[in-house]
Every structure is written in structure tokens, then in C-alpha cells.
Amino acid sequence: MATLKVSTLLFSSSSSSSPLSCSSNRINAATHNSKLRRACISSSNLPTKNLVHEFNIKNGIFATTTTITNTILSKSDETTCPTIVDEPPPLSTDISTAKLYAILEAIADRVEMHKTIGEQRDNWNALLLSSINTITLSAATMAGLAASNTIAAIGVPLFAFKLSSTLLFCAATGMLMVMNKLQPSQLAEEQRSAARLFKQIYGEIEIILALRDVNQNDVNEAMEKVLALDKAYPLPLLGVMLEKFPLTFEPAIWWPSKHAQNERKVYEEREVNWEKRERNGWSEEMEVEMKEIVEVLKRKDIVDYVRLGNLVLKINKILAISSPILTGVAAVGASFSHGPVAVVAAALASVVNTIEHGGQVGMVFEMYRNSSGFFGLLQESIESTLEREVEKRENGELFEMKVGLKLGRSLSELRDLASSSASSHIDGNSIDEFASKLF
């Protein structure tokens, strides 16, 4: 901070006027002060030159220049007021900030889009489920009436009942094939997850804008996160829709890959002199603790969610194949006057359809996929943090607290988990406890 101290100046007027004096004033020019301050100085005893030309003030971080100018109004009893005017920050910072605000606006728009489309696809699931079950049960009723002797006795034409039931069964079969292919409950869960993750990125960017100046690396990182999330949870159904029945269960990946880093050191083999470098909140014990937590995530949480995901995937495949086959059998039975077969097949199809879509098996599959992806992201975050130099890492105590919050554990529980994992290595036993207590 630059200080301009103006001493008291005494002067007397040539005419019969009382003396005028200005008390001592101190003008403090700060790099972030946007107000204009003025210090009044008598000009009767000052030279015609400007008192102060220009001061450039720099604090080593921000290259903000403060200019001090003054203007002499007259040589009489008028006063001169130096004015402090803050110049704008560097153009590169302004552009990066504007870019980040543009990304922020795009993210807010994406949150609304995913939220709206998620609600729409959830409505699809409810409406299609009720419609298909209604069609199936109506067709079964017609097929049963056509096969009964009562309808024939009263002279009602059986052909109309057979044809109607057959057409309804065929319609239900086609609708089930489309519904099982799209899995509306899973689509709705995808959009809910995308909206939540976009809100998370939105909050991270707001923190950056509030705490420090923005640079181009922040812009690039935000862009990569947004594009990766767009790819992980696409909005369209045609062409880019996620495969609902993959060959194997794979966790969701919605964060940018780090394959671009050329020189990456394996953190298990890196030796650090902690006696000399114990700073930034990190210690050797904390690094060992983080490694053990990664091992627990690999051996327990991720493996368990992959197992459950594969199980739900198999169940969903069986249900998705069974319901159209059953309605097809009912259609054939109705057309060939096999009323009991059509009725039983239609009843089974309604039950299977209700279990699959009313129970939202696709949503459960997507939930397991997101949960396993969450643990994969946490594992990668810990490993990439440990690979960096100590000075370039996030503060150790803050990072430990964030890991504990993500796993639903206190700091003492987190350390106990790491100790249990280390003991299980020594004893040769597998740890029974999961890393996460949230889900």
C-alpha cells in the first residue's frame, strides 16, 4: 500500500481574509479499492506543475496499477484534489472470468434440461406401465369370454372377441418390446444423476470465482468436466442412448480421464523425507491412511456394487425378454381359440411387466452403476492427489475431512478403517467392513 502524506500548509491571503489551513491528511491507495478519495491541498504556495504524476503499485500477485493525478484549478484560494483511480485488472483475467461465467450459465441450463426430461421419462414409465397392463387384462378378458359357452349361447359373435383380443395382445407385445428396450425408469434415473452432478460442478465453479482469480486452466478443466458429463449422460434417445443391456456391468464414468499426463510417478514407490517436508497438512501417517482406504474401496465397495449390478442386469434381461414372449403366446392362443392359454399367458405377462417397470428394475441397475462410479472417482481422486508433490496437493487435513464426508465417516472412524485394513494385510485375512456408510 502506497501512502501519500501531505503536511500542513499555512498561507495568508493578500486581501483581508482569515488564514486557511488544511490539516494533515493520509491517502491510502489499495489495489482493490474502487472508491475515489480526495485530499484537499491549497495551491497558493505550490508550483504550477502537478504535485504527483503517477504511482504504480504492485503486490506480487495482481498486476493492478493505481494512478494518482491532480489538477490545479486556479492560483487563488481554490483547492487541488488528487484523485485515486483504480485501473481494471489484466485483460486475460477478464476473459477467463467471462468464459467461466459462460460455462456457469450453460451448466444451469443443463440442470434444468435434465431435470425436466427426467420428470418426463418418469411419467413415461408410469403411463406405459398402466396402459400396457390395462390392454393386456382387457385382451385376456375378451379371450376368456370368447372361449366360454355362455357367450355362444346368447348369440354374440365370437369372431369379434377373438379378433379384438388378438389385436390387443399384439399391441401389448409391440409396446412391451419398445418399453423394455428404452427402460424409462433407468432413463429417468440417468437424468436425475446428471442434474445432481451438474449442480456439483456449478458449486465448484462458484467457489473458484469467490475465492481467487480465474485462469485459463480453470476454464479448460470446467469445460472438460461438462463435456465428460454430457457424454456420460446423453439427452437424446436415438443414436447415443446408453446401452441398457450391456454384456457386462461397468461403473459409470462422468469425469475427464487423466491419460494426458506424460510423466506420472507411482506413489507407492515414491520416497519422501517427511522430517524435512511435513507441511501443507500432510504427514507420512496420513498418506498411508489414504492408501489403505483406496485398498478397501477396491476390495470391498467397488467389487460388491459390481456384483450387485451384474445380478440386477441378469434379472432385468430375463424380465424384458419374458413379458413380450408371454403376450405373444397369449395373442396366438386367442387367435386359435385357446382361451385358457391366452388368459394364463396374459396374466403372467401383466405380473412380469409390473415387476420390471413398477419395481423400476432399470432404475436399480442405474443406481448401482452410479454408486460404483462414485467409488471409482473417489479412488482416482485419492491416487492422483498422492501422486503430486506435497506442496502441490490440497491441504491434507481438508482432504481427509472431504474423504470422510463422502464416505459418511468421522475422522476417527476413517483412521480406524485404515488401521483395520493394515492389520488384515498382516494377518492375511479379508476385512469385513465396507469403506462407505452412506450406501
For 336-365, how does the pLDDT look when each residue is reduced to its tens digit (9 = 90+)?
877 888 999 999 999 999 999 998 999 999
**Phi and psi of 22, rounded to 5°?**
-115, 125
Beta strands 9-11 and 41-42, pairing class: unpaired
By percentage, how much of the chain surpasses pLDDT 90? 39
Closest CA to 199 of 306, 121, 118: 118
By percentage, how much of the chain surpasses pLDDT 70? 72
Exposure of 411 in the CB half-sphere (CA atoms within 13 A)? 8
- pLDDT, position 150: 64
In whole angstroms, give the CA distance from residue 74 to residue 364: 82
Mean pLDDT for all residues in the chain: 76
Mean pLDDT computed over 38-55 = 38
pLDDT reading at 148 higher than 90: no
Closest CA to 369 of 330, 320, 316: 316
- pLDDT, position 423: 87
The CA–CA distances, whole Å, from 66 to 25, 51, 58, 82 equal: 19, 16, 9, 12
Number of H helices, E strands in the chain: 12, 8
The full 3-state SS of 369-399, as one line of letters, equals HHHHHHHHHHHHHHHHHHHCCHHHCCCHHHH
Task: Please say whether the beta carbons of 302 and 372 come within 8 A.
Answer: yes
Instruction: Please state the domain extents for the chain.
Output: 92-242+284-427
User: What are 270's three cell numbers?
Assistant: 515414491
Task: Please say whether the beta carbons of 97 and 170 come within 8 A.
Answer: no
pLDDT 10s digits, 119-144 = 999 999 999 999 999 999 999 988 88
